Structure 1
Amino acid sequence: MLSSLLGTFSSSCNAARQLSFRNVNLASTRRISNLVTKTKPSWTPGRPLQSKLQQKSIFAHGLLCQRRASHNLALNKRFFSQAPPPSQPLPILPSKAVGIWLMVSSSLVFAIIVVGGVTRLTESGLSITEWKPITGVIPPLTEREWEEEFTKYKATPEFKLLNHSIGLDDFKRIFYMEWGHRVLGRLIGVVFVGPLAYFAVKKRISKSLAAKLGGLGLLIGAQGALGWYMVKSGLDDKLTETPGAVPRVSQYRLAAHLGMAFLLYAGMFGTGLATIKEWKFASGGNWMGISQSAFSEALNKLPVRTFKARAWALTALVFLTALSGAFVAGLDAGLLYNEFPLMGGRLAPPRDELISPAYAQKADGSDKLWRNIFENPTTVQFDHRVLAITTYLGTTLLFLRSRSLRTMLPMTARATTVAFAMVNVQLALGISTLLYLVPVPLAAAHQAGSVAVLSAMIHVLLTLRRPGAAAQAWRALYNQRVQATSKK
């Protein structure tokens, strides 16, 4: 009986040493083996046991090893069968939890883009005249504090020129809108940076991915600073000294603020979606609905390479069109020419209205062209129309091209169909917003639609990329285990 007990103890400990504890690499296996070695009861084979206490100690230790072996096997049943473990540590493959976290973070960025649009549309963005990254989380709580905030707002150009008749209750409404926008930005920082630090310290993500996501974390902080820099442009007292000036933030800073938000969203959404797809592939699923060999063969064909280049160009055009929308919003250009497809009864306004010399600031007029493009509301709306129509036509063409890829790349064809559907919705929202003089619900939906179109195009691009090296290595191990199991 004693020899049987010792045999069970020895085989259990060996199993605990051989099984891989984590699906990232074999480092945790070594840690378990060391733990088993350190905690093994002191007993030399060949010598009799001195007491029942020593017998119980060895028996308990054997059970502990068995539990650890069973736990390791349960954790790794997706990747490991009874075949021997890999001879070299595998690259770190981010788990599905990492992808879900990134998708949640991107959803919050989506939300703050929409909330930011509503804040601008309701002219609430200049209601908070100070930037307090820490203490600004708490809004005024007493009537005295509210009066102090209202007094600060009364000193702004917006109150003096536009809102001099509002009372404290009206001020509270616009204050809470801007406050909610800022708090949501802080929430995004906490939700993103906290888990990022955890995944990096626990080595659940590779160093390269940690560096990439760390850059996004820094971008979140820069976005907050840029937001305040934008607000300051609308608090400048010089606005009260300029005849005909309207208190609003700089359209350049607004476009930079929105553009950075789009970059943050694209980085989080694209990385999160790719992580989830690669995890499923490493777990035995097909890559983009077909086998890996068929996918690689399809990517090498000329029509697919051409389609991919056009998809990249169209994605860049979607981003550029969204940025031009920021200039439309910053200059209230949507309140001009509220008709479509004509502008004042013609396809384009008169040339002297599009390129007006009144916007030139240099004596020789050398800056007339570019200043009209970015500062003339008529030209800004016309440019946005041209970019939007070009985006629509480009998406339509890409959709028609995707019909020929339905057999080779079915996932790409479906993703392109979704993008085409979204751009139709976005076009309808844009025209409705223009015809109805920019109502807040339609305008906010139109801004959300731009993010949705960008998301659809990012998905199209993801369906045209190969799985990463880590996912391929883990898939190869998965195939090896399946083959080893099938031979037994």
Structure 2
Amino acid sequence: MAVAASTESMPLARLPQTNSLSAVRTWIYILAALVIAMVAVGGATRLTGSGLSITEWKPVTGAIPPLTEQAWTAEFEKYQQIPQYELMNKGMTLSEFKFIYAWEWGHRQLGRLIGLVFFIPLAWFWARGAIRGRLALTLLGIGALGGLQGAVGWIMVASGLEPGMTAVAPIKLALHLTIASLILACLVWVAAGLNPRPDPIRKVHVGAGPAVLVGLVMLQIVLGGLVAGSKAGFTYNTWPLMDGAVVPPASALFAVSPWIENFVDNVVLVQFNHRLVAYGIVAIAVWHAWTARRESAGSRYAGRATALAGLTLAQMVLGIVTLLLVVPLWAGLAHQVFAMVVLAMAVVHARVSRP
């Protein structure tokens, strides 16, 4: 994000016209919305157990789903060869397979759509001179991240096709979610930096609060990916206690050897870390909002800080509800999507608050 373009950094004579900048900003925000939709569909794919239904990676020809009963049977036979079918879904009907296949195909198709919505307008804006220099390089970097995300997605799926595996590796799922979040953060950072109206902050000392919150929200998303990948949300479904204690005993937190693997493979520590960081984010966000309102009451800066504190608190409550209800589909998806909303708000606040 540090390399993101800013209208303030370009010489006035070389700035594209305001209308062009507005169009570019709108396009980037549309991309950000599509990334959030991609995260939502990815979450549904995971929660419905659909992620391994397509056993091959065909970036081009894979855009066409099976169109005949013979083609569907061939795809189903490929799925029947993987451990997930043998160990979890043996006896599944073709109709049931079509349901999980549709989720995974939709997820991949949305990724292709994002690629088209990114590169076609990028070429058009570039040809018209609306994108140039540092902004162009930044957007190309985001495009490269998108390509990396596609490759990591297949590596993640491939991890679930290995002998004895019935789901993808937690750390690879967390990496996939993290890159998606990083792409979203970069897009929002760039778009917010293209705002032609600077934010008057009334001589407020901004400090490190906005940047710290962005970093903590990103960390929490990584931890959430580990919770999702290890299915830690389906255990210890009580709050505020975990198995009758505020802090589980060390013997439970570090039951796996070597100890470092507990941070990925031990559902007790994985869930406990997610809880702890959530408390920290809410506390820091509330403190930041209180400080902003005390030093600059009525300013946009204070308003954004207050809104961000409210969003973090709402997200924590939603996480608790999701845990207590043992991760129903609607709650799991809402919690995952709302995390992206919190991240986007934190990034906008950090970007616009820069002196």
TM-score of the superposed pair, with normalisation by structure 1:
0.68
Residue of 458, 465, 482 corresponding to 2:354:
465
Corresponding position of 2:4 = none
Pairing partner for 1:196 from 98, 103, 122: 122
1:391 partner amino acid? I
Q: Deviation of residue 115 (structure 1)? A: 0.8
Instruction: Please tell me whether residue 401 in structure 1 is matched to residue 291 in structure 2.
Output: yes
Rounded Cα–Cα distance in structure 1 between residues aligned with 2:294 and 2:248: 40
Q: 1:166 aligns with which of 92, 105, 112?
A: 92
Equivalent in the alignment of 1:451: 340
CA distance in 2, matches of 1:402, 1:119: 40
Give the alignment partner of residue 169 of structure 2, picking from 250, 256, 273: 250
Letter of the aligned partner of 2:222 in structure 1? L
| Match in the other structure for 2:43 | 117
Asked if the contact 1:315–1:454 (Cα under 8 Å) also holds between the matched residues in 2, the reply is yes
Q: When the two structures are aligned, how many residues end up with a matched partner?
A: 342
Distance 2:211 2:147 in 1: 28
Q: SS of 2:318's equivalent?
A: helix
In 1: Cα distance, 2:43 partner to 2:307 partner: 24
**Alpha-carbon distance in structure 2 between the residues aligned to 1:353 and 1:393:** 27
Instruction: Name the structure 2 match of 1:4.
Output: none
1:229-248 paired onto structure 2 within 5 Å: 229-237=155-163, 239=164, 247-248=166-167
Native 8 Å contact 1:92 1:205 kept in 2: no
Work out the CA distance in 1 between the residues paired with 2:51 and 2:12. Answer: 52
**Given the alignment, which residue of 423, 433, 449 partners 2:322?**
433
Matched letter for residue 245 of structure 2: R
Gaps of 5+ in 2: 1-10
SS at match of 2:309: helix
**Partner Cα separation in structure 2 for residue 396 and residue 426 of structure 1:** 13
- Give 1:92 deviation, angstroms: 2.4
In the other structure, the counterpart of 1:333 is 232
- Map 1:203-242 onto structure 2 (within 5 A): 203-237=129-163, 239=164
Residue 89 of structure 1, CA deviation: 7.9
What letter matches 2:215 in structure 1?
A: A
Instruction: Give the alignment partner of residue 23 of structure 2, picking from 97, 105, 124.
Output: 97
Q: Is structure 2 residue 46 aligned with structure 1 residue 157?
A: no
- Summarize deviations over 1:258-303 as a string: whole Å, max 9, x none: 110001111112211321x22xx3xxxxx22x4xxxx4x715xxxx
Matched residue SS, 1:95: helix
Provide Cα deviations, 1:77-101, integer angstroms capped at 9, x if missing partner.
Answer: xxxxxxxxxxx98122352000000
Structure 1 stretches lacking a partner, 5+ long: 1-87, 240-245, 282-286, 361-367, 467-488
Question: Structure 2: which amino acid aligns with 1:269?
Answer: V
Displaced runs of 4 or more, over 2 A = none
Q: Secondary structure at the match of 1:104?
A: helix
Instruction: Report the alpha carbon displacement of residue 229 of structure 1 after superposing the two structures with TM.
Output: 0.5
**Superposed CA offset, 1:205-238 (max 9, x none):** 221110110011111111111100000000012x
Secondary structure in 2 matching 1:437: coil
CA-based RMSD of the aligned residues comes to 1.5
Give matches, 1:70-149, under 5 Å: 90-93=13-16, 95-149=21-75
Matches within 5 A, 1:18-29: none
Letter in 2 for 1:187: L
Q: 1:315 aligns with which of 209, 214, 219?
A: 214
Give the letter for the 2:322 counterpart.
Answer: T
Structure number with higher relative contact order (C-alpha < 8 Å, ≥ 6 residues apart): 2
Please give the per-residue CA displacement for 1:280-336, whole angstroms capped at 9, x wherever unaligned. Answer: x3xxxxx22x4xxxx4x715xxxx143xx1221121011101110000000000111
Pairs within 5 Å for 1:290-439: 290=200, 295=201, 298=203, 304-306=205-207, 309-356=208-255, 359-360=256-257, 368-407=258-297, 410-439=299-328
Residue identity opposite 1:354 in structure 2: L
Deviation string, structure 1 residues 21-59 (Cα, Å, up to 9, x no partner)? xxxxxxxxxxxxxxxxxxxxxxxxxxxxxxxxxxxxxxx
Maintained 8 Å contact 2:188/2:348:
no
Structure 2 residue identity aligned to 1:259: T
Match of 1:179 among 69, 83, 105: 105
Tell me how far apart the structure 1 counterparts of residues 21 and 220 of structure 2 sit (CA, whole Å).
35
Provide the C-alpha distance between the structure 1 equivalents of 2:78 and 2:347, rounded to a whole number of angstroms: 43
CA contact (8 A) 1:405 1:412 kept: no
1:327-360 per-position Cα deviation (integer Å, ceiling 9, x unaligned): 000000011110001011111222111111xx32
The amino acid of 2:174's aligned partner reads A
8 Å CA contact retained: 2:80, 2:86? yes
Distance 1:122 1:333, change over 3 A: same
Counterpart CA distance in 2 for 1:405 and 1:415 is 14
Q: Secondary structure at the match of 2:53?
A: coil
Structure 2 contact 210–346 (Cα < 8 Å) conserved: yes
Q: TM-score with structure 2 length normalisation? A: 0.93
Give the equivalent residue in structure 1 for 2:187. Answer: 268
Check whether the contact 1:416–1:456 (CA below 8 A) recurs between aligned residues. no
The structure with the larger Rg is 1
CA offset digits 1:337-387 (Å, max 9, x no partner): 10001011111222111111xx32xxxxxxx22111121111100111111
In the TM superposition, 1:6-25 aligns within 5 A as none
3-state SS, counterpart of residue 151 of structure 2: helix
Amino acid at match of 1:172: K
